[in-house]
Amino acid sequence: MDQSTKVFKFGGASVKDAEAIRNVAEILQNYRQDTLLIVLSAMGKTTNALEAVVNAHVAQTNEATSLLEALKLQHYLVMNELFSSDDEVYALVNDTFVEIEWVLDEEPHDNFDYMYDQIVSVGELISTKILCAYLNNQGLPTQWLDARDVILTNELYREAWVQWQETEERFQKNAQPLLQKGGFVVTQGFIGATQENFTTTLGRDGSDYSAAIFSFCAGAESMTIWKDAPGVFSADPRFFPEATMLPEMSYDEAIAMTYYGAKIIHLKTVGPLKRKHIPLHVRSFLEPSAEGTLISEREVTTYPPLLAIEANQVLLQISNKDYSFVTEQHFSQIFNVISDLRMQVTFIQNTPLILYISVFDQGDKVVQFADRIQDSLETSPVKNLELINIRHATAELLTQLRQERKVLVEQTNGASAHLIVEKS
Ligand code: ASP
Ligand code: MG
């Protein structure tokens, strides 16, 4: 195992246009001595644009092709600024876009999630081809690695699960030799493949997780996520101007924060790093000399209050029709329905007469849920709520929040406090 590999993840914003791509190359000039595996997202808002192509194809509105053409044009405009007109990268990128055209030539596939992955994954295939070609032109020898030759997943399209053992074996076989040759290796975030070689995706914003998978397999010395923010903040500075940047946090604190909805890094990222004691740096590609935030196994003794908000919540207030308690006989029924409907639970609290469950408000799931338990249980849902999760809350902060917001239910345990509140 090569202990000296570093893994860098660059997100969509870091390669959103020609200037951004030049900036990435400039940062990478400082690492030419390193064995570097670069994990890259699709450029800018490409994934959203590809989702629109998928939806148009399913709706058969004839818009899919024009949406795709617009996206291709955007990419070509960026490429025109970076490459001379005879560069072979144009053919490479064009051939990759053609894969989408093949899908669009056919009737929409019965399995939406499968079709989604075949189309949406192209964003990362293209961004990596562009960056790889550009780095080589800049005198930074870089090899392109197909992440689908490494990350093996199950067939849960759009939310695929990694098959760790095979992925580690494939890493040794297909990635390690490239790293050993020296220079950089660039590969795609977000995507993997099934045993039958169909492309899968790991869930939106999954590139951080991909980088962690590669770091794990490489036994990397460190992983760095390059973002458009200077590091991890104690809360979203757009909503809490008093938020501060954390120079350091422990793996467990980062896991708790992401679990509770902080949008700093993808939820699944820290687990694999923690298992292999791989430090994670979160740094700014706009300010590459700044240290950013270090996430590692070192315990940090004091944290400021850390706040994360889950929007779009609906609170299910479940009670027994005969005013008795909600008890064990009901729990299995309730949670079976939740699992069947793939509802995402964010908060649970049982009280003598009401069981409170907060979930993301998705489609008509709440109506279906209420229907399916109505034999014995009554559901009264409250919509348009937010869940405020706070780690290391101070009494002052809680008092302030209770004054500012109407709190419906509240829970504290250990270092965490959770408030279900009306939207402000
Ligand atoms: N491009 C994918 C997305 O936008 C994955 C990622 O950027 O992490 O969700
Ligand atoms: Mg992203």
Distance 27 CA to ligand 2 centre (A): 19
Q: Is the CB of 117 under 6 A from ligand 1?
A: no
Class (C level, CATH) for 6-227: alpha beta
Residue 26 confidence (pLDDT) above 70? yes
Cβ atoms 421, 386 nearer than 8 A: yes
Cα(86)–Cα(297) distance, integer angstroms? 49
| Residue 350 parent element (H or E) | strand 345-350
Q: What is the pLDDT of residues 232-252, one digit of tens each?
A: 999 999 888 899 999 999 999
Read off the pLDDT of each residue in 84-89 and give the average, rounded to a whole number: 97
Percent of the residues in the chain that have a pLDDT greater than 90, as a whole number = 92
Max Cα-Cα span within the chain:
77
| Residue 136 in this model has a pLDDT that exceeds 70 | yes
pLDDT of residue 2: 44
- Tell the residue nearest (CA) to atom 2 of ligand 1: 205
**Cα dist. 175→140, 197, 271 in Å?**
18, 17, 22
Q: How confident is the model at residue 226 (pLDDT cuts 50, 70, 90)?
A: very high
Domain 306-422 architecture: 2-Layer Sandwich (3.30)
Which of 207, 210, 225, 227 maximizes ligand 1 atoms within 8 Å of its Cβ, making it the mutation to test the pocket? 207
Give the C-alpha separation, 104 to 68, whole Å.
Answer: 10
Residue 326 above 80 pLDDT?
Answer: no
Signed CA dihedral, 138, 142, 143, 148: sign only:
negative
Q: What is the pTM of this model?
A: 0.93
Q: Which of 48, 127, 204 to mutate to test the pocket of ligand 1 (most atoms within 8 A of CB)?
A: 204
| E strand intervals along 175-270 | 184-188, 191-193, 199-201, 222-227, 232-233, 245-246, 248-250
The predicted-structure confidence for 349-396, as pLDDT tens digits, reads as follows 999 889 999 999 999 999 999 999 999 899 999 999 999 999 999 999
Q: Are 46 and 130 in contact (CB under 8 A)?
A: no
The residue to which tokens 């290796």 are assigned:
185
What's the CA gap between 280 and 275, in Å, rounded? Answer: 12
Nearest CA, atom 8, ligand 1? 205
Ligand nearest to the CA of 228: 2
Residue written as token pair 């992983």? 223
> CB-hemisphere CA count at 13 Å for 338?
19
From the CA of 123, the nearest ligand is 1
What average pLDDT score do residues 42-63 get? 97
Q: What is the pLDDT of residue 415?
A: 85
What pLDDT is recorded for position 263? 87
Query: 411: closest CA among 355, 334, 367, 366?
Result: 355
| Ligand positioned closest to the Cα atom of 39 | 1
Q: Indicate if the pLDDT at residue 1 is higher than 50.
A: no
Q: Could you tell me the distance, in angstroms and rounded to a whole number, from the CA of residue 137 to the centre of ligand 1?
A: 26
Residue pair 47/119 in contact by the 8 Å Cβ criterion: no
Query: Which atom belonging to ligand 1 lies closest to the Cα atom of 11?
Result: 7
Please report, as a single letter, which amino acid is at residue 418. Answer: H
Centre of ligand 2 to C-alpha 349, Å, is: 33
Dihedral (Cα; 336, 338, 340, 346), 10-degree rounding: -130
State the average pLDDT over residues 293-299. 97
Q: Which residues pair with 249 in a beta bridge?
A: 295
Q: pLDDT of 137-149, one tens digit each?
A: 999 999 999 999 9
| Residue 125 backbone phi and psi in degrees, to 5 | -60, -40
Alpha carbon nearest to ligand 1 atom 3, residue: 205
Atom of ligand 1 nearest to the CA of 42: 1
Ligand 1 touching residue 205 (CB < 6 A): yes
pLDDT at 3: 46
Given a cut of 50, is residue 65 above it in pLDDT? yes
pLDDT tens, position by position, 156-213: 999 999 999 999 999 999 999 999 999 999 999 999 999 999 999 999 999 999 999 9
Pocket probe mutation, ligand 1, options 50, 122, 190, 226, max atoms within 8 Å of Cβ: 190
- Domain map of the chain by residue range? 6-227, 306-422
pLDDT score, position 306: 96
Would you say the CB of residue 158 lies under 6 angstroms from ligand 1?
A: no
Q: Is 204 in the pocket of ligand 1 (CB under 6 A)?
A: yes
Residue 314 · residue 356 · CB < 8 Å: no
CA-to-CA distance for 380 and 75, rounded, in angstroms?
Answer: 49
Query: What is the Å distance from ligand 1's center to 11 Cα?
Result: 7
349: helix, strand or coil = strand
Ligand nearest to the CA of 189: 1
User: DSSP string spanning 30-50?
Assistant: TTTTSEEEEEE--STTHHHHH
Atom of ligand 1 nearest to the CA of 207: 8
- 47 CA distance to ligand 1 middle (Å): 6
- Please tell me the distance from the alpha carbon of residue 79 to that of residue 17, in angstroms, as a whole number: 9
Would you place residue 266 in the very low, low, confident or very high pLDDT band (cuts 50, 70, 90)? very high
Residue 264 has pLDDT above 90, yes or no: no
Taking a 5 Å cut-off on Cβ, the residues next to ion ligand 2 are 11, 205
Average pLDDT, the chain: 96
Cα–Cα distance measured from residue 227 to residue 148, given in angstroms and rounded to the nearest whole number: 24
Residue pair 170/213 in contact by the 8 Å Cβ criterion: no
User: Mean pLDDT, to the nearest integer, of 292-313?
Assistant: 96
On whether the CB atoms of residues 96 and 125 are closer than 8 A, the answer is yes
